[in-house]
């Protein structure tokens, strides 16, 4: 990938709660790559951990990994796409040749690169490159998913967090008729409600901290909602799967174990910024399963997690769209982050639309 002489605006997180807009060279697509004009990019909960200074950020990397746009230019050797095509982007580069990639588990690929995900946790082994809080971005063509005409770009940018929820629900083997409890009604929690319902769960209970989160959880299909401080009163016998989406420093994994019955499953989707305690004795005696879910995968011979997310968004466009509470232009990205970080604003999914 090279750059032409024309410029563009890109966003950088240079310090705790400090957003800078800078002029940057407009990239040029290389072999097998496309130049995407970014039309919508969501601010992820993981982005907010860096914004708050809970995790170390990279001042030289633009954040932004939940995005959609249209193709502005094709590199050499790109087939199946043309300029103007509307696309959502799966934000990982990988070799596509190693045993992990061939099995669809490209997050284990030694050459994987996360696009715009500022995750730099010790031992993560993930390289990162600049993301989509910018006007243009170059990505490999194999990361593209074509958006149907009836879906606008803001819905396309929801495919990334929904794919993460789909992946986790698949790992937890949520099935027809089960009862699922989702801890947290932020974006991933709400997406987990959609994914669990799509997998056949007939009863989905969601915990919430703020009134607008409760309303959103019901809007996307929760059977009922419970205040976070009252969730322990549910009783273990009725819960098959608990999906933890809070992360941070919360003790929710232990809380989740207390909610499931014997042989229940706990799915961890929240990004934790420090270790938490866990009652391992209960895991053993109850024969519980604890499953970690990270991003998404491409299982050979089956729809990818992104394909499944697209199917859900098409079927549940109104419900999915209810998650988006705020939109800002690129030059107001600092305000967008401040809004996303302050739940008193009623924010859930804040998107930047260059």
Percent of the chain with pLDDT over 70: 95
Superfamily of domain 164-292: NAD(P)-binding Rossmann-like Domain (3.40.50.720)
Residue 117: predicted pLDDT: 78
Report the candidate in 308, 304, 307, 311 with the shortest Cα–Cα distance to residue 103.
304
> Average pLDDT of 293-297?
93
Report pTM.
0.94
Own/partner pairs, 99-105, CB within 8 angstroms, 24+ separation: 102/300, 103/300, 104/297, 104/298, 104/299, 104/300, 104/304, 105/297
Please state the domain extents for the chain: 2-158+323-352, 164-292
Q: Render pLDDT for 83-109 as a digit per residue (tens, 0 to 9).
A: 999 999 999 999 999 999 999 999 899
pLDDT band at 295 (very low <50, low <70, confident <90, very high): very high
Nearest-angstrom CA–CA distance, 313 and 220: 11
> Average pLDDT of 283-305?
92
pLDDT band at 249 (very low <50, low <70, confident <90, very high): confident
Report the candidate in 82, 76, 66 with the shortest Cα–Cα distance to residue 146.
82
Residue 119: predicted pLDDT: 58
Whether the CB-CB separation of 21 and 15 falls below 8 Å is answered with: no
pLDDT band at 4 (very low <50, low <70, confident <90, very high): low
164-292 matches 2-158+323-352 in CATH topology: no
Task: Tell me the residue length of the chain.
Answer: 354
Q: Give the pairing of strands 265-268 and 241-244.
A: parallel
Architecture of domain 2-158+323-352: Alpha-Beta Complex (3.90)
pLDDT greater than 70 at residue 206: yes
Residue 2: predicted pLDDT: 55
């Amino acid at each position: 990938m090279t750059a032409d002489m024309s410029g563009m605006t890109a966003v950088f997180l240079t310090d705790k709660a400090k957003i800078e807009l800078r002029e940057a060279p407009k990239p040029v697509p290389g072999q097998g790559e496309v130049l995407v004009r970014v039309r919508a990019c969501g601010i992820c909960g993981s982005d907010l951990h860096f914004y708050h200074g809970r995790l170390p950020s990279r001042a030289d990397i633009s954040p932004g990994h939940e995005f959609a746009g249209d193709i502005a230019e094709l590199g050499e050797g790109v087939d199946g796409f043309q300029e103007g095509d509307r696309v959502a982007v799966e934000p990982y580069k990988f070799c596509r040749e190693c045993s992990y990639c061939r099995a669809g588990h490209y997050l284990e690929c030694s050459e994987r690169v996360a696009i715009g995900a500022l995750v730099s946790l010790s031992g993560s082994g993930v390289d990162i490159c600049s993301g989509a809080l910018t006007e243009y971005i170059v990505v490999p063509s194999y990361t593209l998913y074509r958006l149907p005409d009836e879906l606008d770009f803001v819905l396309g940018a929801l495919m990334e967090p929904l794919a993460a929820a789909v992946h986790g629900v698949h790992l937890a083997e949520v099935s027809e008729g089960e009862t699922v409890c989702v801890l947290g009604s932020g974006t991933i929690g709400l997406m987990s409600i959609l994914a669990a319902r799509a997998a056949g769960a007939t009863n989905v209970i969601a915990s919430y901290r703020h009134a607008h989160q409760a309303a959103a959880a019901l809007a996307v299909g929760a059977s009922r909602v419970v205040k976070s401080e009252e969730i322990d009163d549910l009783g273990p016998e009725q819960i098959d799967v608990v999906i933890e989406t809070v992360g941070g420093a919360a003790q929710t994994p232990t809380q989740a174990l207390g909610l499931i019955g014997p042989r229940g499953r706990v799915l961890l989707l929240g990004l934790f910024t420090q270790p938490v305690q866990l009652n391992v004795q209960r895991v053993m005696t109850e024969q519980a399963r604890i499953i970690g879910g990270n991003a998404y995968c491409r299982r050979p011979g089956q729809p990818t997690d992104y394909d499944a997310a697209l199917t859900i968004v098409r079927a549940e466009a109104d419900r999915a769209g209810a998650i988006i509470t705020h939109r800002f232009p690129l030059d107001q990205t600092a305000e967008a982050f401040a809004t996303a970080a302050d739940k008193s604003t009623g924010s859930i999914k804040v998107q930047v639309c260059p």
